[in-house]
Structure 1
Amino acid sequence: MANADWVLKSEWTKIRSVRSTVWTLAAAVVVTVALGMLISLLVRHGYDDLSRAEQLTFDPTFISFAGTSMGQLAMIAFGILVVSNEYSTGMIRASLCAVPRRGALMAAKLAVATALALLVGLATSFLAFFLGQAMLGRYRTDIGEPGVLRAVFGAGLYMGLIALFAMAVAWLLRGPMLTFGVLIPFFFMISSILANVSATEKIGDYLPDQAGSQIMAVVDDGERPYGPWGGLLIMLLWVAAALAAGYLSLRKRDA
């Protein structure tokens, strides 16, 4: 039976040997940082045009992470590809022959991929913050201000959790196209619609991305019934439920 170190090294080799997974992580960094810088620059030049209420609730930290909404697409792609590549190529059969304990195989893949996603996510959040603040000029904040460091770490954690959620759903659905077809509309259409329509706004508040993104905010706009840590907890519950469903699927279904 394969030992834990061998299984972890095997999963690391699988991830780094597939160029598509490497490129998706690189895209997550570039898109998040570049878009955050652009929006921060636009806000800097348009600050005087904001209403009095908008100026009072202005959150320079959160503005730096404006690119996260698009950068998370790349993290979703990373999570899906890490899992579904094995199913689309048939490699999953060889993996299960080498590691017949399906829980151990899943745990090893999740451990390696999540650690990598969190590392990239944290590097991205710090880059996005410092470069975004540089673009904001005199409207900037400092990482030593109350709540700012928590928000920066939270942004990196959010991106890692998005990848983990995508991996869990990929275990459940297996096929890359099917998983993309479910997650992309969920995050970029359904979630936004529910959160911005008054009749369904309260439902939207409890979706994983809407709740989890509150960890990146420093200024409380009073629109959510929970704080940053409450939002992160909601997101963690979504991830845990998806992981449980993914594990049951892997355990009960044939490769």
Structure 2
Amino acid sequence: MPATAAMRTAHSEWIKIRSLRGSLGSLIAVFAATVGVTVLVFATVGRSEVESGDDLLLGSFYALNFGQIAALAFGAIAVSCEFLNGALRVSLAAVPRRDLFYAAKTAVVGGCVFAVGTATTFTAFVAGQAFMGDDALSLGDPGAVRACLGGGVYLALMALFAAGLTAVLRSAVAVLSILVPFLLIVSFVIGDVAGSAADYLPDRAGQQVLRQDPVGSLGPGTGLAVTALWAAAAVLAGWWSVRRRDA
């Protein structure tokens, strides 16, 4: 019975996501933005990446910086919809067990982004390398499959990070107003100032899995683990908020 209840609750959460244009659109944008920017960039300046001497595997996932914004938006919108017009009271009337409701919500958010994110990273990698000619990487090259799979995990963790914070702040706008500038601007500024301490920021740590030759104090696995800790902390804070605060 508990397993059946969990499956039914997760299914109801999936129905909510499909019915909300904002959340479904954000999920689609994870794929569309990443693959679209990848094709545009590699079709125009892809070969110059070879001449620059940078990590070519990391360069293959340049557009993931745009896809992760969509993943954050998906996680935030999927949760914030519960705090509009008394929707949470309706959800809790259907699923009185708040732990079950919140677990199903976060599981669906993470699962959806992992599935779409993994499809996105493999597609973006193959599409981008199609423009590289003899210099193209393949999935058989060291670290390529790991980066594609890890990229899907990374996007899922970032979506869960946003989802947990949204459960605390109860506003997608507030969460995105914090996270988007942080990832696009503050993280780079802190990196220049804080040195190796910046390796432990959620985006910098998780993106180590995208590198062929990781740099800094973290490797691919430990980097994802650090991002997972950030996401877990946010999800736990959201769980506490959903359990303790009025609907």
TM-score, L = length of structure 1: 0.90
Q: State how many pairs are aligned.
A: 245
- CA deviation vs aligned residue, 1:161-218 (integer Å, no higher than 9, x gap): 11111111111111122122222222222212111x2x31323211000100111111
Q: Which residue of 2 aligns with 1:93?
A: 89
C-alpha distance in 2 between matches for 1:47 and 1:209: 22
1:215 and 2:209 correspond: yes
**Residue of structure 1 in register with 2:104 after alignment:** 108
Which residue identity is paired with 2:240? L
Instruction: Give the alignment partner of residue 192 of structure 1, picking from 164, 188, 206.
Output: 188
**Is 2:50–2:135's contact at 8 Å kept on the other side of the alignment?**
no
User: How much does 1:48 deviate?
Assistant: 7.1
The residue that corresponds to 1:227 in the other structure is 219
The 1:144–1:48 alpha-carbon spacing in structure 2 relative to 1, beyond 3 Å, is closer
Task: Give 2:199's aligned residue.
Answer: 205
For 1:130 and 1:219, the matched residues in 2 are separated by 20
1:144 aligned to which of 117, 140, 143: 140
Which amino acid is 1:216 matched to? L
Q: Decide whether aligned partners of structure 1 residues 192 and 89 sit closer, same or farther in structure 2, where only a CA change above 3 A counts.
A: farther
CA shift, 1:11, in A, is 0.8
Aligned letter for 1:35?
A: V
SS of the residue corresponding to residue 226 of structure 1 reads coil
CA distance in 1, matches of 2:50, 2:149: 30
The CA deviation at 1:43 is: 4.1
For structure 1, the 5+ residue unaligned runs are: none
Equivalent residue letter for 1:106 = Y
Q: Percent identity?
A: 39
Secondary structure of the equivalent of 1:135? coil
Taking the TM superposition and a 5 Å limit, the aligned residue runs for 1:23-172 are: 23-47=25-49, 50=52, 55=53, 58-172=54-168
Q: Contact conserved, 1:60 with 1:140, CA < 8 A, in 2?
A: no
CA drift of 1:14 comes to: 0.6
Kindly provide the amino acid, as one letter, of the partner of residue 193 in structure 1.
V
CA distance in structure 2 between the partners assigned to 1:187 and 1:41 by the alignment: 26
Give, as a single letter, the amino acid of the residue that structure 1 aligns with 2:42.
Answer: S
* 1:7 Cα offset (Å): 1.3
Q: CA deviation at 1:8?
A: 1.6
CA 1:82 to 1:206, structure 2 compared with 1: closer, same or farther past 3 Å?
Answer: same
Aligned counterparts of 1:194 and 1:139: Cα–Cα separation in 2: 34
Letter in 1 for 2:90: A
Name the aligned partner's letter for residue 239 of structure 1. A
Once the two structures are superposed, residues 97-137 of structure 1 have per-residue CA deviations (whole angstroms, 9 ceiling, x without a partner) of 22121111000111122111111001100100100111222
- Report the alpha carbon displacement of residue 28 of structure 1 after superposing the two structures with TM: 1.3
Q: Answer yes or no: is the 8 Å Cα contact 2:165–2:238 preserved in 1.
A: yes
- Unaligned runs of at least 5 residues, structure 2: none
Q: 1:200 aligns to what SS in structure 2? A: helix
Superposition deviation, residue 158 in structure 1? 1.0
SS of equivalent residue, structure 1 residue 192:
helix
